[in-house]
């Protein structure tokens, strides 16, 4: 019995040294993983397999990337990410406009399509992404654009990815043809970053975007409703000069 107790006590006394050795090895592996220039402002400490990340970076993407790299280091059981995003303070409205433009223009031909309707709101430097994405790649691309924009302090990703559906894809294409083939509306094909956006979920269509007149908005809704298989059309198009338009008699 005494021998067993002595063994247990000896083992318990040896544990701190083992943990210290493991933490030392983990710390070395972590420093290697975070050796890139974009991580130069980050400090990392390891205790009992738990990593604490501190310091500052220029963009949210670097903070998120450091977190991902830390999670992939062998021996790490948890990551506490206290990294701060530094950089110039940009007024929320100005930053929001910049992000809206970036999501649309930076992703044309790469991410966003007329079937995406991704929104962004900024409060105290925190960008909240919402709306709908045609697929997970489009959603992640939008997050990446925002995460790499200076001035963004953090990101909340509330983008809804539309479910995969063969029938919805058929409806998307048919609504696209019906809307953009209409003479009053085909002008919105000129600038690929400013289309009438078509979101479809289980046969229900929602139109987003901005048009020049109430007549164009009405026409888009009517054209979408002509497509076979469409259960409903919600017309959320905004009329750019609605206040100046004279009401029809």
pTM, rounded to two decimals: 0.77
Q: Is the pLDDT of residue 103 over 90?
A: no
Q: Tell whether 246 is covered by a domain.
A: no
Which CATH number do you get for residue 195?
A: 3.30.1340.30
Task: Work out how many domains the chain is built from and give that number.
Answer: 3
Cα–Cα distance, 55 to 47 (Å, whole number): 18
Q: Is residue 248 part of a domain?
A: no
pLDDT band for position 83 (cuts 50, 70, 90):
very high
Mean pLDDT to the nearest integer, 167-191: 92
**Residues 145 and 96 grouped into a single domain:** yes
Instruction: Choose one of 161, 187, 204: the last residue of a domain.
Output: 161
Q: What is the DSSP letter of 239?
A: E
Packing angle of the helix pair 136-147, 92-105 (nearest 10 deg):
140
**Cα 55 from Cα 80, distance rounded (Å):** 12
Residue 154 has pLDDT above 60, yes or no: yes
Q: Which of 161, 182, 203 is the last residue of a domain?
A: 161
The answer, yes or no, to whether residue 5 has pLDDT greater than 70, is no
Domain that holds residue 133: 92-161
Q: Which two tokens stand for residue 65?
A: 């990337």
Q: How many CA atoms lie within 13 A of 204 on its CB side?
A: 5
Match 């991902």 to its residue by tokens: 68
Do 171 and 216 have their domain in common? yes
Q: Which whole number is the average pLDDT over 146-170?
A: 94
Contact of 45 with 83, CB cutoff 8 Å = no
CB-CB contact of 120 with 127 (8 Å): yes
d(CA 180, CA 178) in angstroms, rounded, equals: 6
Answer yes or no: do 208 and 151 share one domain: no
| 170 part of a folded domain | yes
- Report pLDDT digits (tens) over 106-128: 666 555 578 988 999 999 999 99
Residue 191 pLDDT exceeds 80: no
Closest CA to 201 of 104, 119, 134, 126: 134
Q: What percent of the chain has pLDDT over 90?
A: 56
pLDDT of residue 249: 45
Looking at residue 25, its pLDDT comes to 84
Does residue 70 surpass a pLDDT of 70?
yes
> Across residues 10-21, what is the average pLDDT?
43
Single residue among 85, 108, 132 that ends a domain in this structure: 85
What is the rounded average pLDDT for all residues in the chain? 85
């Amino acid at each position: 019995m005494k021998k067993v107790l002595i063994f247990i006590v000896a083992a318990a006394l040896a544990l701190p040294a083992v943990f210290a050795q493991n933490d030392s090895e983990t710390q070395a592996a972590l420093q290697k993983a975070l050796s890139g220039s974009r991580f130069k402002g980050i400090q990392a400490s390891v205790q009992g397999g738990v990593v604490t990340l501190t310091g500052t970076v220029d963009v949210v993407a670097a903070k998120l990337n450091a977190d991902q790299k830390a999670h992939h280091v062998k021996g790490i059981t948890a990551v506490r990410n206290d990294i701060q995003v530094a950089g110039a303070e940009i007024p929320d409205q100005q930053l929001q406009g910049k992000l809206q433009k970036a999501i649309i223009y930076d992703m044309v031909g790469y991410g966003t399509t007329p079937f995406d309707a991704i929104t962004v709101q900024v409060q105290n430097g925190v960008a909240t992404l919402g709306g709908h994405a045609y697929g997970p790649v489009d959603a992640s691309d939008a997050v990446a654009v925002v995460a790499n924009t200076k001035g963004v302090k953090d990101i909340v990703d509330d983008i809804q990815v539309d479910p995969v559906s063969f029938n919805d894809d058929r409806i998307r294409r048919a609504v696209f043809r019906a809307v953009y083939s209409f003479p009053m509306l085909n002008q919105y094909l000129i600038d690929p970053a400013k289309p009438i956006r078509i979101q479809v979920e289980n046969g229900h269509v929602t139109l987003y975007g901005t048009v020049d007149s109430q007549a164009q908005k009405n026409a888009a809704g009517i054209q979408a409703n002509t497509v076979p298989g469409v259960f409903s059309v919600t017309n959320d198009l905004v009329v750019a000069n609605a206040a100046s338009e004279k009401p029809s008699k």
